[in-house]
Amino acid sequence: MGKIQFDEQTGKPLIPKAKDEDEDEEDFESGEYEIPLSKRKIITQPSDPPISDICDRIDKGKMEARAGFQRKYVWDTKPIIKSKLIESVILDVPIPAIYTADDLDTGKEVVVDGQQRVLTFHGFKNNKFKLKGLEVLKELNGYEYKDLSNTKDGVIKKLTDTLGDLQDLFCNRPIRVIKLLKESHPDIKFEVFERLNRGSVKLNDQELRNCVYRGSFNDLLKELIENKDFWRLQKLIEPHKRMIDAERILRFFAFCDKSERHYVSPLKKFLNDYIKDKRNLSEKDLEDKRRLFKKSVELCQSVFGNIAFRRYYLGDGNKEGYADKKINEGLIDIQLYGFMQYEKRQIFGKEQIIKDKFIDFISQNDIIETIEKGTYGTSQVKLRTEKWLNILREIIGYPENDERIYTSEDKEFLFKKYNKICQECKNKIYSIDDAHVDHIKRFREGGKTVIENGQITHRYCNLHKG
């Protein structure tokens, strides 16, 4: 984008760091955004409001500087950095642009890049700190904003006579603000957020989703990372500070709702599209997801124990087998997702068999290739998921309900296609929640899981037809 990034703590330009050969490349997926050429643009609105106007918009709730997706205000413990920013403003030293975005839910303008600067301006304007450590305007050390208008003070009078009214210099200083408008294509907008935040803050994809796709579903993700059983499986003692665990939960729900059959890389777009679609869920949907996640986590704990989410290396006559210390993201997905359609009573007594089969499964060369490199390529996801689900069916049997096979999108399509009429009893189905998708030619008899082989029935009729 040609934008120079500045370190918010030192104010110095950031020089791109040479990549270490040992650093992990983001090569676990391939694929590009498929966006019409006419929509590959970001629509911005630049302006140069004075600092007083920015502070006023914050006070009136029109601008949100401390958004939930942003890191905390870290300059509270750095008084000299804050003070030098104020000094730069008074001396008319160039200040990096601030980037904001329209929030579709609240209608507010949200600060995307420049939070520390904006909060420092606002804090000084409201007398939250005294200037300290200044070297150019060293006479102002120890002064607050309210003191800058006191021309009875000899120091302030002398500076005012030389520079002009100090409060006016601060309040009237224009700051370049570039707003990303809501009309921008969401995928392109996400890319801009990503690039802006790859400077001093370097937010990851899930942290960025908190900005772009906030809503009740995102709140649920932040609630579920507090699940202590999930902590134990990840060998954490508290939620991950960078929301890596939230993205793991998001992937679980995305695969549950869309299935691996509908997965197309890149993973980032797959998750962005999913959370965008689900951002404002009903309380019933949220509660269903809470129960589903809790059940799958508990089954992973009881079946896989200390090897959960980790690759297991087989031993031989010379060495003992062992589980990798590092979490493997692809294994998280299939272990959690694999239990989606099974109940605890179906697993009881088969824990050791499932665990042994899983160790054999992840020792196969074709599976190892899907979890070591290109983890989220389309073919890799489908291969390891389908193979593991087939193994589970051999051990446990076919799931007692068929929601996993026909996605929610398939179910909605068939519900409309059959005009809400049960194809078993021919009576009306009053709610989609009371409906099942049934194979016309049964799965165990070779029927395929495709729209053409699906029909809508009452949940009761399908479960009792024998």
* Per-residue pLDDT reduced to its tens digit, 130-169: 999 998 899 999 999 999 999 899 999 999 998 899 999 9
What Cα–Cα distance (Å) separates residue 174 from each residue in 5, 26, 272, 346, 440? 19, 39, 35, 66, 68
In percent, the amount of the chain with pLDDT more than 70 equals 79
Provide the pLDDT confidence category of residue 20 given band limits of 50, 70 and 90.
very low
The three-class DSSP label of residue 176 is coil
Most confident segment among 54-68, 105-119, 350-364, 397-411: 350-364
In this structure, the answer to whether residues 296 and 276 fall within a common structural domain is yes
What Cα–Cα distance (Å) separates residue 114 from each residue in 11, 182, 229, 452? 12, 19, 37, 53
Mean pLDDT of the chain: 82
> Looking only at Cα atoms, what is the longest distance across the chain?
95
Distance of CA 102 to the CA centre of its chain: 18
- Domain assignment present for residue 29? The answer is no
pLDDT at 197: 57
In this structure, the answer to whether residues 300 and 446 fall within a common structural domain is no
- Domain assignment present for residue 275? The answer is yes
pLDDT at 461: 76
**Which of 344, 376, 396 marks a domain boundary?**
396
What Cα–Cα distance (Å) separates residue 103 from each residue in 19, 267, 445? 35, 24, 51
Give me the sheet containing 63-64, strands edge to edge. 44-47, 177-180, 98-102, 109-113, 63-64
Q: How far apart are CA 4 and CA 96, in angstroms?
A: 8
Between 211 and 69, where is the model more confident? 211
- Domain assignment present for residue 321? The answer is yes
In this structure, the answer to whether residues 123 and 154 fall within a common structural domain is yes
In this structure, the answer to whether residues 324 and 426 fall within a common structural domain is no
Pairing of strands 63-64, 98-102: unpaired
The model's pLDDT over 242-291, given as tens digits with 9 standing for 90+, comes to 899 999 999 999 999 988 888 999 999 999 999 989 989 999 999 999 99
Is residue 102's pLDDT more than 70? yes
Angle formed at CA 433 by CA 432 and CA 438, multiple of 5 degrees: 70
- Domain assignment present for residue 190? The answer is no
Cα end-to-end distance, the chain, whole Å = 62
- Domain assignment present for residue 201? The answer is no
- Domain assignment present for residue 85? The answer is yes
Q: Are 331 and 311 in contact (CB under 8 A)?
A: yes
DSSP state of 94: -
Is residue 5's pLDDT more than 90? no
Residue type at position 71: R
In this structure, the answer to whether residues 226 and 310 fall within a common structural domain is yes
Residues 6+ apart with CB under 8 A from 198: 5
- Domain assignment present for residue 284? The answer is yes
**Which of 396, 420, 451 marks a domain boundary?**
396
pLDDT at 464: 62
In this structure, the answer to whether residues 236 and 370 fall within a common structural domain is yes
For the chain, what is the domain count?
3
The model's pLDDT over 398-426, given as tens digits with 9 standing for 90+, comes to 665 444 457 767 888 899 999 999 998 89
In this structure, the answer to whether residues 61 and 90 fall within a common structural domain is yes
Q: Could you tell me the pTM of the whole model?
A: 0.55
Provide the pLDDT confidence category of residue 196 given band limits of 50, 70 and 90.
low
pLDDT at 11: 46
Is residue 454's pLDDT more than 80? yes
In this structure, the answer to whether residues 287 and 233 fall within a common structural domain is yes
- Rounded to an integer, the average pLDDT of 102-110 is 77
In this structure, the answer to whether residues 374 and 232 fall within a common structural domain is yes
Tokens of 172: 């009237």
- Domain assignment present for residue 434? The answer is yes
Domain carrying residue 439: 408-463
Long-range pairs, 357-364, Cβ under 8 A, ≥24 = 357/391, 357/395, 358/304, 358/312, 358/388, 358/391, 359/307, 359/312, 359/314, 361/387, 361/388, 361/391, 362/311, 362/312, 362/331, 363/312, 363/314
The model's pLDDT over 81-93, given as tens digits with 9 standing for 90+, comes to 899 999 999 988 8
Distance of CA 433 to the CA centre of its chain: 28
In this structure, the answer to whether residues 309 and 441 fall within a common structural domain is no
- Rounded to an integer, the average pLDDT of 322-343 is 93
Q: How far apart are CA 255 and CA 383, in angstroms?
A: 14
φ/ψ bin of 2: left (φ > 0), alpha (ψ from -120 to 50), beta (otherwise): left
Q: How far apart are CA 16 and CA 19, in angstroms?
A: 9
Residues 6+ apart with CB under 8 A from 46: 176, 177, 178, 179
Segments in 312-350 forming alpha helices (H): 329-338, 344-347
pLDDT at 211: 65
In this structure, the answer to whether residues 221 and 73 fall within a common structural domain is no
In this structure, the answer to whether residues 235 and 343 fall within a common structural domain is yes
Provide the pLDDT confidence category of residue 65 given band limits of 50, 70 and 90.
confident
In percent, the amount of the chain with pLDDT more than 90 equals 50
Is residue 21's pLDDT more than 80? no
Name the strand (E) or helix (H) holding 463. helix 459-463
In sign, the C-alpha dihedral spanning 52, 53, 56, 57 is negative
